């Protein structure tokens, strides 16, 4: 899938998740997680583009193992940046509840699904 098409789909997912977060923001139980939800959404939108860039570059390689290396690198970069985000968020904002990771992982897995689907269409 061309990088521009992936960007369009990622921005569509961003819009859908953004509307969902906005809708949930009216629920009192979700109030403590609004900031982490918006921050996670924005952060993962950037990270997924970095990750897909590595995958996209790998699709242009002639060797199959180079493609596999680029896919592994793309997923590793995404995972490492996700872990760094969680650590930094915990240290900087000191959330009261450990449940702050739930909105993050909802966004993380949504973007992981998008990335996986894009890779499957390419192979």
Q: How many domains does the chain have?
A: 1
Q: With beta carbons less than 8 A apart as the criterion, state whether 115 and 71 touch.
A: no
- Output the pLDDT for position 122: 67
The domain in which residue 54 lies consists of 3-122
- Over residues 63-110, the pLDDT tens digits come to 878 888 888 888 898 999 999 999 999 999 999 888 999 999 999 999
Q: Provide the H-helix boundaries in the chain.
A: 3-24, 34-59, 64-93, 101-122
What pTM, to 2 d.p., does this model score?
0.87
Does the pLDDT of residue 57 top 90, yes or no? Answer: no
77-87: per-residue pLDDT in tens? 899 999 999 99
Positive or negative torsion for Cα 107, 112, 117, 121? positive
């Amino acid at each position: 899938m061309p990088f521009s098409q992936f960007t369009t789909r990622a921005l569509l997912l961003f819009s859908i998740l953004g509307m969902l977060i906005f809708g949930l923001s009216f629920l009192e139980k979700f109030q403590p997680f609004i900031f982490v939800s918006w921050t996670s959404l924005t952060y993962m939108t950037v990270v997924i583009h970095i990750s897909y860039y590595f995958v996209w570059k790998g699709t242009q390689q002639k060797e199959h193992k180079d493609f596999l290396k680029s896919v592994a690198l793309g997923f590793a970069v995404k995972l490492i940046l996700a872990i760094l985000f969680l650590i930094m968020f915990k240290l900087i904002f000191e959330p009261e509840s450990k449940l702050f990771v739930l909105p993050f992982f909802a966004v993380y897995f949504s973007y992981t699904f998008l990335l996986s689907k894009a890779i499957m269409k390419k192979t």
